[in-house]
Amino acid sequence: MIPSSHRCRFAPARTLPLLLPLLLPLAACTPLTAYRQTAFVPASAPPAHFGAPLPAGTVAASASVAGFGVTEPMTALLGVTDLESGLDAAERFFPVEGDPGVAHPALAFEGDARIGIKDLLELGAHGSYSAHAWSARGYGVLEIPGDGPLWGLGGHVTLGKRWGWVGLGGTLDGTVWSVPYARWAYDGPAEYAGGYALGEAVEWYALEEQGRIGVLRVSGTVGTSFHVGLFDSAVGLAFVPDMSNRGFTNSSVPPVEWGGLSLVPTVDLGLLIAPIRVGVQGWYATGAPAATDRLATGLGVRGQVEVRGKLKRP
- Asked if residue 9 is part of any domain, the answer here is no
Answering whether pTM is above 0.85, one says: yes
CA triplet 75, 79, 85: central angle to 5 degrees?
100
- Asked if residue 65 is part of any domain, the answer here is yes
> 246 pLDDT exceeds 80?
yes
Judged by average pLDDT, the poorest of 52-66, 145-159, 232-246, 283-297 is 283-297
Phi first, then psi: give them for residue 22, nearest 5 degrees.
Answer: -90, -35
- Asked if residue 29 is part of any domain, the answer here is no
Measure the N-to-C terminal CA separation of the chain; round to a whole number of Å.
74
> 139 pLDDT exceeds 60?
yes
Strands (DSSP E) found in the chain? 3-4, 29-31, 35-40, 58-68, 102-105, 107-118, 121-130, 135-137, 150-163, 166-186, 196-198, 205-228, 231-244, 248-249, 257-273, 276-284, 299-310
- Asked if residue 195 is part of any domain, the answer here is no
Judged by average pLDDT, the poorest of 19-33, 183-197, 218-232, 236-250 is 19-33
> 262 pLDDT exceeds 80?
yes
Over residues 266-291, the pLDDT tens digits come to: 999 999 999 999 999 999 988 644 34
- Asked if residue 52 is part of any domain, the answer here is yes
The confidence band for 121, taking pLDDT boundaries of 50, 70 and 90, is very high
In total, how many domains does the chain have?
1
> 93 pLDDT exceeds 80?
no
- Asked if residue 204 is part of any domain, the answer here is no
Give residue 28's pLDDT: 63
Q: What is the CATH number of the domain that holds 82?
A: 2.40.160.20
- Asked if residue 147 is part of any domain, the answer here is yes
Q: 166: domain range? A: 41-182+209-310
> 35 pLDDT exceeds 60?
yes
- Asked if residue 243 is part of any domain, the answer here is yes
| Pairing state between β 150-163 and 196-198 | unpaired
